[in-house]
Amino acid sequence: MNVMAKAEKKISSAFIYFFGSFGGILFGYDIGVMTGALPFLQADWHLENAASLVGWITSAVMFGAIFGGALAGQLSDKFGRRKMILMSAIVFMVFSVLSGVSPDMGEASAYYLIIVRMLLGLAVGAASALVPAYMSEMAPAKARGRLSGLNQTMIVSGMLLSYVVDFLLKDLPGEWAWRLMLGLAAVPALILFLGVLRLPESPRFLLRKGDEAQARKVLSYIRKNPADIDQELASIKETAKEEQQANQKTSWSTLFSGKYRYLVIAGVGVAAFQQFQGANAIFYYIPLIVQKATGQAASSNLMWPIVQGVILVIGSLVYMWIADKFNRRTLLMVGGAVMGLSFILPAVINWMMPNMNPMTIVVFLCIYVAFYSFTWAPLTWVLVGEIFPLAIRGRASGLASSFNWIGSWLVGLIFPIMTASMPQEAVFAIFGIICILGVIFVKTCVPETRGHTLEEIEEQGTNRGRVKASNPEN
């Protein structure tokens, strides 16, 4: 036991935050890797005219993630955050390797890969839910706000890493290129596993299990001022007690009661709009988009994902700089408006000037990604973390996450089907209209949360509920 204590004592807060962030890199890598692998996979398995199969192969991970996040949340309350992160890393490693060694059996190969990637998605969804939760429970209260921006930076850094790997492997024989791209996703999962092996369990989970001595010991590793430990332990106990009482008094129907309906619709709506606005269509299919616009082979357009990745990383850093300088609603509405115009204008220009430069659409896509990267991408989860009252926070956050993954899955699935049946400009114009609808939704249905306490935000929902009750025709 003394050896264990000494080993844990050496763990620095920087080490803990690094591997919390590394979970974001793992998540981002898997989001981005299919972007480069898909053109080679299509050529190797002759799927150029199989839009539905391409959509399913690409979106299968998001479909699995819908269930992975919810399942991991429940299991982590029973077995602990740390153990479930380790389990997720193992599942991620196994199914990344199985993706890379997919057998070549004709059309059956596609179904094999879809199933394997769905199972991989369980780990992706789990990691996306577990790692930020673990980090928020380990970090001091004053650092939790910045961690949401840091997590977004690590996710897009993981995406950029996958784009670079794809580019470096593009000159290999086609069947080897896509297999290595998918299989190498096991490497960051292995690094995460080895890192988390050295991490302690979160104090919050330890207190839930009645192990106050160990919780105190863990806090002593990551808090500089010993006087703060007793205060934090008391605060954790009080919050856990309130959450337990809240869970006993609430059900799924509570989410849509008059008092909470306004805030639930606002939080879940923003989470859903973030995906239905079409960002993942760019992230997953940019080489194919450029191919359709220019006629150049998709496998020769793997520099464009790197350009998108660099924009995403820079945008995430811009967000960390401006996060507390502008209202949430302002950033979401400005970002959504520019994103919508970036999708709609190419269709308008193409209608007015049928011979426009085909790269025009790609330039507008870069503008879209830039504004998405410092508005809707990070702010969605900041707002979801702030908007739900304690009594419904667990269920409402889970519902928002599920709608977000459903949107991600549907966009990945239907985009190749849509572009196979209509011009690309028209497809993006549809997403542009959704962006504008998102702006209208934020203006009419989402309260401002910056600078407001959780109690003040809850009061806004309560007041809105009273207004609706007194004016039922509205």
Cβ atoms of residues 272 and 401 within 8 Å: no
**What fold characterizes domain 251-474?**
Growth Hormone; Chain: A; (1.20.1250)
d(CA 178, CA 298): 13
Q: With contact defined as beta carbons under 8 Å apart, do 280 and 411 qualify?
A: yes
Report the SS3 class of residue 105: strand
pTM, rounded to two decimals: 0.82
pLDDT band at 469 (very low <50, low <70, confident <90, very high): very low
In the chain, domain spans: 10-199, 251-474
Q: Are 454 and 390 in contact (CB under 8 A)?
A: yes
| Integer CA distances (angstroms), 214 to 1, 4, 14, 84, 204, in order | 12, 12, 20, 19, 11
What pLDDT score was predicted for residue 438?
96
Q: What's the pLDDT score for residue 449?
A: 80
Q: Kindly report the number of other CB atoms within 10 A of residue 471's CB atom.
A: 8
- Top mean pLDDT of 313-322, 332-341, 355-364, 403-412 is at 332-341
CB atoms within 10 A of CB 144: 15
- pLDDT at residue 400, as a whole number: 86
Q: Which of 85-94, 103-112, 251-260 has the lowest mean pLDDT?
A: 251-260
Task: Measure the N-to-C terminal CA separation of the chain; round to a whole number of Å.
Answer: 63
What average pLDDT is seen over the chain? 83
Q: Which residues, in sequence order, are CB contacts of 27 under 8 Å at separation 6+?
A: 124, 127, 128, 131, 155, 158
DSSP state string for 149-204: HHHHHHHHHHHHHHHHHHHHHTTS-HHHHHHHHHHTTHHHHHHHHHHHTTPPPPHH
Average pLDDT on 448-460 reads 71
At 7 the pLDDT is 40
Answer with the residue of higher pLDDT: 262 or 248. Answer: 262
- CATH number 1.20.1250.20 given to 10-199: yes
